[in-house]
Every structure is written in structure tokens, then in C-alpha cells.
Structure 1
């Protein structure tokens, strides 16, 4: 990423590699900083909201 300002870099994670393939998460610097500062209950609320939104679109979140 030579020549790109620090703010354009993303944290990328690949998880859940199994028969269905992996999942790639790309987090902006602002989002990763907010998650790092969040309290446990805020993280739980965000996870529940996210999984409900995904399930409304027909995705199964374990």
C-alpha cells in the first residue's frame, strides 16, 4: 500500500474456513478503533443487531 495515507488502510481478517469457504472482514481504522474502545455490552449489542440484520436477508449466523 505504498503511497496511501494511513487512513485508507483496512484491517482484514479471514475466519470460518470450512466446507462453505471463509469469511473476509475488512474493518476501517475508525471502526477498528471504535470496537477496541467499546465496552463489552456495546459489543454484544452490536453483534446481536448485526446478526439480526443478516438473518433478515436470509443468512444464517451461528
Structure 2
């Protein structure tokens, strides 16, 4: 299974910050398994994706 561009960006950003998926899930107020579902594209959570992008400063910058 291939990773999405968004998932790769999240993994890279977390490594640069020295943070984990668990830390990111805590910042979002969700479980690590729910975060995993979002990153793998199993959940359509547009608001959470936007929040992840803001927290990690990734994605499109307007």
C-alpha cells in the first residue's frame, strides 16, 4: 500500500519536530488510531486535516 503525499508530509514534519503520532493525536484531541485512519485516508476529516496542517505548518500556505 502506498502512502499519500499528506501522510509523508506529516511523517517528515513530526520527525523534524522530534514529535510522535501520539503527540499529534493529543494536540487534536483524538485517539492515535483515529489519527492513523485520517493519515491513511480511511476517514474523511477535512477539519482535522486542516488542523494537522496548521499545527505542523505543512501543505498549502495561502
TM over 0.5: no
Q: Which has the larger radius of gyration?
A: 1
Higher relative contact order (CA 8 A, sep 6+): 2
Identify, as 1 or 2, the structure richer in strand: 1
TM-score (norm 1): 0.31
Identify, as 1 or 2, the structure richer in helix: 2
